[in-house]
Chains A and B, each alone.
Chain A
């Protein structure tokens, strides 16, 4: 049946995201907040996250270029990013953020630069994956989505 097939696909996709460490338990918390009254909550939050985080990352990038020695500033930016990434359960991105902050503490600019590239990469990858995930979810239909299989 197509429906169940789609559902299975979604379930599988989700499982992979978790297994590969892209997402963590916090994502489940988000799903729990979704219900009939808020059928697209998770997607809304994720969309909001990517929008905000992109802006934040642009700031970080700029800071790395213009005032690279201002570790305090870099750190505070990253702290913000870390806060929101952890809120949606973006595990990998969060880990890279943590790494970045460690380099900041050390004053290791080079380390920061490298780490930031990783953050950007993980961020982009997650964005793609979640985009595909939500697209699939939409195909299933609201009711299905409300109770994600294997969630």
Chain B
């Protein structure tokens, strides 16, 4: 009998997905984390799961569980959590996980009332089990892992459907992509990847043509894109905003109605979640000065946002209180965020990421800023965080702050800033949280994150798009490991989500001046965020930070060790999202973002950050995805060059991973980073992940990347790509992805 890995504290648990088990064993070896404060239940469930041949880790506290998840990103496939827990509401944990790690979460409870179950559903739980649990119920939980991956792949597919043709053409399309602005970022990514490795092209084509592979690039809802989206929605009127019309208004080449529809859905959810109590309409936060401006822009959202924010926020009592204290702030934030959403997201993300790296200094700053937050975040942490975030936000621009504040408030920032891992996330989150955080936390965390990320990115010239990656980066930073998959996914997701979701997202777009975050701030943030990848992000110049493939991917290569992805996510998540508890803000942001159901962005990030070629080179060449991420090798260069090499290696890994996933073998995938599945479809696809060895995995690039990272990571433990800091997670910046 395997010894039970109790993890009351952050004891190490979870197992890196080493290729210890043949895929054919699936679902055996499925890595499950069980969270329940009741030791009796914990013991029983542990035993039951072991009997199912799952790889179980138990945890008796939500906070400890979250810390563990963050620390070991990519080491779990599924989370089983009790609803009622003393230190944290199970649903909050659920949200956090969704945003930060995007893992399937199953809730358990003795409460079988309809309301309780409904709550589980609305919070995004994959399933809701009634206690007492039986073996039968637990035997099949692996299906959720598989389903999630499939859905992710599908999303990628859908989002990329329109782009398929473009991608095929590669070079000539460059121009086209450019015209579509950010929206085409993913295309660029894909393209880049293609360019990177010839094989990729080939594979990409193959994959694309094969409907079963579903390697559609994910649409990266970059800040700009989101801004356009939001503008279109506002123009049409919230009630009349239908995907078709929005699409028409946006004039974005390559964007499909489906993309818009799903984004709109997220956005709406986000708005609802983030809505802040009406009376908190005005933000008279200290930041007002600048925020004012931001708010203005948000006006359009005003009624809608606030309301939705208020409504959707579902702020916890504390947060509400906080909000009340700074009512205005909150509201504004939401509003501001809406417009800026994307920006916010991105910035936030970026910031967050940066934050992670620069944690100490940033934190302080943020803390200071927090202090400004008059109404005072409910908890001290919040204030601290807010303060910090404020600083960050400042950089963003008023909006950022506003958002953050709002976010913090909404989010109960305390948790936001409290990035467990690195602060940076926290601080960044703070900022982000303001904008994004708020949004995110409650539901729309995703948005917040995105916003934040965006913000962060915003400053970076090159990162126009919401850098989903950034988020990742941020998240990654957190652990600096960022499992590639996660981080990546998160970033992307976050970005996308953020736009839509976190209502609170700061309307960074509007308010924030061009680059939300000053490059400097951004840089800092990015650095902070990407502990590992900081350079990449920051170095490059901001823009490059996030090669999509990025660092996340690279980091994940080692899979075990790679936090990059995860970190980023963590960062992202924690930053804003948490609001509720003491979660690391970064994580919250990102996780939330990611979680936001937007499978879409997930994929993006996968960037399996292929750490410099060196590492990967040896491995399978398939891993082409390297292109984006690999680039990162030392300089933020995201991945351009080495990528091909790395990509190959990584690709191989990824393929295997992908294959598994793609084929729904579940097994592997489950074992791999879930995140990987996400995104990077773009990248991966282009890479042509068709690794003969592994069979084409359909995953989206991200997934593959993540997987790769995992796989690679594992394999290369020795020499692997150690999380290449350079790799930074710049998941979102597709632009940077060399293809």
Q: A residues bordering B, Cβ < 8 Å?
A: 26, 29-30, 32-33, 37-38, 41, 44-45, 48-49, 52-53, 76, 79-80, 82-84, 86-89
With A29-B135, A86-B110, A86-B131 given, can you name 13 additional A-B contacts, CB distance below 8 Å?
A26-B132, A41-B47, A45-B44, A48-B39, A48-B43, A49-B40, A52-B38, A79-B110, A80-B84, A87-B38, A87-B131, A87-B133, A88-B44
How many of B's residues come within 8 Å of A, CB to CB? 21
CB neighbours (8 Å) of B47 from chain A are: 33, 38, 41
Taking the nearest CB of chain B, how far is it from the CB of A103, in angstroms? 17
CB neighbours (8 Å) of B1 from chain A are: 37-38
- Expressed in whole angstroms, the Cα–Cα distance for A5 and B51 within the complex equals 31
Contact A29 B132 (CB under 8 A): yes
**Closest B residue to A49 using CB positions:** B40
- The answer to whether B41 has its CB under 8 Å from any CB of chain A is yes
- The answer to whether B134 has its CB under 8 Å from any CB of chain A is yes
In chain B, residues 28-44, which have Cβ atoms closer than 8 Å to a Cβ of chain A?
Answer: 37-41, 43-44
Taking the nearest CB of chain B, how far is it from the CB of A38, in angstroms? 6
Contact B135 A83 (CB under 8 A): no
CB neighbours (8 Å) of A79 from chain B are: 84, 110-111
Taking the nearest CB of chain B, how far is it from the CB of A12, in angstroms? 25
- The answer to whether B548 has its CB under 8 Å from any CB of chain A is no
Query: Given A76-B84, A80-B38, A86-B132, do A44 and B110 touch, yes or no (CB 8 Å)?
Result: no
In chain B, residues 44-92, which have Cβ atoms closer than 8 Å to a Cβ of chain A?
Answer: 44, 47-48, 51, 82, 84
Contact A83 B44 (CB under 8 A): no
- Expressed in whole angstroms, the Cα–Cα distance for A101 and B40 within the complex equals 21
CB neighbours (8 Å) of B48 from chain A are: 29, 33
**Closest B residue to A48 using CB positions:** B40
**Closest A residue to B46 using CB positions:** A33
User: Of residues B43, B47, B84, B132, which shows the largest number of chain A Cβ atoms within 10 Å of its Cβ?
Assistant: B132
CB neighbours (8 Å) of B39 from chain A are: 48, 52
In chain B, residues 422-478, which have Cβ atoms closer than 8 Å to a Cβ of chain A?
Answer: none
**Closest A residue to B82 using CB positions:** A83
CB neighbours (8 Å) of A41 from chain B are: 47
Query: Given A37-B1, A38-B1, do A83 and B41 touch, yes or no (CB 8 Å)?
Result: yes
User: Can you list, as one digit per residue, whether each of B92-121 has a CB less than 8 Å from chain A (1) or not (0)?
Assistant: 000000000000000001110000000000
- Expressed in whole angstroms, the Cα–Cα distance for A45 and B48 within the complex equals 12
Query: Given A33-B48, A38-B1, do A83 and B131 touch, yes or no (CB 8 Å)?
Result: yes
- Expressed in whole angstroms, the Cα–Cα distance for A83 and B109 within the complex equals 7
- Expressed in whole angstroms, the Cα–Cα distance for A42 and B134 within the complex equals 15
CB neighbours (8 Å) of A88 from chain B are: 40, 44, 132
List 20 contacting pairs A-B, 8 Å CB cutoff, sorted by A: A26-B132, A29-B48, A29-B134, A30-B44, A33-B48, A38-B47, A44-B43, A45-B40, A48-B43, A49-B40, A52-B40, A80-B37, A80-B38, A83-B38, A83-B84, A84-B38, A84-B40, A86-B131, A87-B133, A88-B40
- Expressed in whole angstroms, the Cα–Cα distance for A32 and B47 within the complex equals 10
- Expressed in whole angstroms, the Cα–Cα distance for A49 and B43 within the complex equals 10
Taking the nearest CB of chain A, how far is it from the CB of B40, in angstroms? 4
CB neighbours (8 Å) of A38 from chain B are: 1, 47
Query: Given A45-B43, A79-B110, do A33 and B38 touch, yes or no (CB 8 Å)?
Result: no
Q: B residues bordering A, Cβ < 8 Å?
A: 1, 37-41, 43-44, 47-48, 51, 82, 84, 109-111, 131-135
- Expressed in whole angstroms, the Cα–Cα distance for A38 and B4 within the complex equals 12
Contact B135 A84 (CB under 8 A): no
CB neighbours (8 Å) of B134 from chain A are: 26, 29
- Expressed in whole angstroms, the Cα–Cα distance for A86 and B48 within the complex equals 15
Contact A87 B40 (CB under 8 A): yes
Taking the nearest CB of chain A, how far is it from the CB of B107, in angstroms? 13
CB neighbours (8 Å) of B131 from chain A are: 83, 86-87
CB neighbours (8 Å) of A76 from chain B are: 84
CB neighbours (8 Å) of A87 from chain B are: 38, 40-41, 44, 131-133
CB neighbours (8 Å) of A84 from chain B are: 38, 40-41
**Closest A residue to B134 using CB positions:** A29
Taking the nearest CB of chain A, how far is it from the CB of B604, in angstroms? 40
Taking the nearest CB of chain B, how far is it from the CB of A44, in angstroms? 7
CB neighbours (8 Å) of A49 from chain B are: 40
Contact B43 A82 (CB under 8 A): no
- Expressed in whole angstroms, the Cα–Cα distance for A41 and B4 within the complex equals 13
- Expressed in whole angstroms, the Cα–Cα distance for A68 and B338 within the complex equals 46
User: Which 10 A-B residue pairs are closest in the complex by CB-CB distance?
Assistant: A37-B1, A83-B110, A84-B40, A49-B40, A86-B132, A87-B132, A33-B47, A26-B132, A87-B41, A84-B38
Taking the nearest CB of chain B, how far is it from the CB of A14, in angstroms? 18
Taking the nearest CB of chain B, how far is it from the CB of A126, in angstroms? 14
- Expressed in whole angstroms, the Cα–Cα distance for A29 and B131 within the complex equals 12
CB neighbours (8 Å) of A86 from chain B are: 110, 131-132
**Closest B residue to A79 using CB positions:** B84
Taking the nearest CB of chain B, how far is it from the CB of A121, in angstroms? 20
- Expressed in whole angstroms, the Cα–Cα distance for A53 and B135 within the complex equals 23
- Expressed in whole angstroms, the Cα–Cα distance for A45 and B41 within the complex equals 9
- Expressed in whole angstroms, the Cα–Cα distance for A26 and B57 within the complex equals 23
Contact A33 B51 (CB under 8 A): yes
CB neighbours (8 Å) of B38 from chain A are: 52, 80, 83-84, 87
CB neighbours (8 Å) of A53 from chain B are: 40
- Expressed in whole angstroms, the Cα–Cα distance for A60 and B444 within the complex equals 37
Taking the nearest CB of chain A, how far is it from the CB of B94, in angstroms? 18
Taking the nearest CB of chain A, how far is it from the CB of B292, in angstroms? 41
Taking the nearest CB of chain B, how far is it from the CB of A83, in angstroms? 4
CB neighbours (8 Å) of B37 from chain A are: 80
Taking the nearest CB of chain B, how far is it from the CB of A124, in angstroms? 17
- Expressed in whole angstroms, the Cα–Cα distance for A89 and B41 within the complex equals 11
- Expressed in whole angstroms, the Cα–Cα distance for A20 and B132 within the complex equals 20
CB neighbours (8 Å) of A33 from chain B are: 44, 47-48, 51, 135
CB neighbours (8 Å) of B109 from chain A are: 83
Query: Given A48-B39, A84-B41, do A89 and B135 touch, yes or no (CB 8 Å)?
Result: no
- Expressed in whole angstroms, the Cα–Cα distance for A139 and B243 within the complex equals 72
- Expressed in whole angstroms, the Cα–Cα distance for A89 and B133 within the complex equals 11
- Expressed in whole angstroms, the Cα–Cα distance for A49 and B132 within the complex equals 14
User: Of residues B40, B43, B110, B135, which shows the largest number of chain A Cβ atoms within 10 Å of its Cβ?
Assistant: B40
Taking the nearest CB of chain A, how far is it from the CB of B677, in angstroms? 32
CB neighbours (8 Å) of B111 from chain A are: 79
**Closest B residue to A98 using CB positions:** B110
**Closest A residue to B1 using CB positions:** A37
- Expressed in whole angstroms, the Cα–Cα distance for A87 and B535 within the complex equals 51
CB neighbours (8 Å) of B110 from chain A are: 79, 82-83, 86
CB neighbours (8 Å) of B41 from chain A are: 83-84, 87
**Closest B residue to A89 using CB positions:** B132
**Closest A residue to B48 using CB positions:** A33
CB neighbours (8 Å) of A30 from chain B are: 44
**Closest B residue to A36 using CB positions:** B1
CB neighbours (8 Å) of B40 from chain A are: 45, 48-49, 52-53, 84, 87-88
